[in-house]
Amino acid sequence: MKPIILLTGKNGQVGGELLRLLPQLGEVVALGHDQLDLSNPADIRRTIREVRPQLIVNAAAYTAVDQAETDKKTAQAVNAQAPGLMAEEAKKIGAALVHYSTDYVFDGTKKTPYDEMDSANPINVYGKTKFAGEQAIRSSRLPHLIFRTAWVYAKQGRNFLLTILRLATEREELRIVSDQVGAPTCASDVAAATTKILSRICERNNRSFVFSKVSGTYHMSAAGQTTWYDFAKTMLEEAEATSHIPEWLAAATKERPLIARRLIPISTQEFGSPTHRPAYSILSNSRLIQTFGVALPDWHAQLQCCFVSDSIAANRGAD
Ligand X SMILES: NC(=O)c1ccc[n+]([C@@H]2O[C@H](COP(=O)([O-])OP(=O)(O)OC[C@H]3O[C@@H](n4cnc5c(N)ncnc54)[C@H](OP(=O)(O)O)[C@@H]3O)[C@@H](O)[C@H]2O)c1
Q: Which residues are catalytic?
A: 126
Stretch of 99-107, 135-143, 206-214, 226-234 lying at the interface with ligand X (CB under 6 A): 99-107
Q: How far apart are CA 51 and CA 16, in angstroms?
A: 20
Question: What's the gap between Cα 262 and its chain centre?
Answer: 30
The reply on whether position 14 binds ligand X by CB under 6 A is: yes
The reply on whether position 162 binds ligand X by CB under 6 A is: no
Q: How far apart are CA 297 and CA 6, in angstroms?
A: 27
Tell me the number of residues near ligand X by CB under 6 A.
27
φ/ψ of residue 244, rounded to 5: -105, 110
The reply on whether position 62 binds ligand X by CB under 6 A is: yes
Distances (CA, A) of 219 to 92, 148, 258, 295: 27, 5, 35, 10
Would you tell me how many other CB atoms lie within 10 Å of the CB of residue 250? 12
Q: Collect all residues with Cβ–Cβ distance below 8 Å to 193 and sequence separation of at least 6.
A: 147, 220, 288, 294, 296
Q: CB nearest ligand X: which residue?
A: 12
For ligand X, what does the binding mask look like between residues 114 and 143, x meaning CB under 6 A? ----------------x-------------
Residue from 3, 4, 23, 39 that binds ligand X (CB under 6 A)? 39
Q: In this complex, which beta carbon is closest to ligand X, that of residue 181 or of residue 245?
A: 181
The reply on whether position 11 binds ligand X by CB under 6 A is: yes
Name the E strands within the chain: 4-8, 27-31, 55-58, 96-102, 144-149, 152-153, 173-177, 181-182, 185-186, 216-219, 226-227, 262-266
CB of 40 to ligand X, least distance (A): 8
The reply on whether position 15 binds ligand X by CB under 6 A is: yes
The reply on whether position 41 binds ligand X by CB under 6 A is: no
Binding site for ligand X (CB under 6 A): 9, 11-15, 33, 36-39, 59-63, 78, 100, 102-103, 130, 149-152, 157, 187
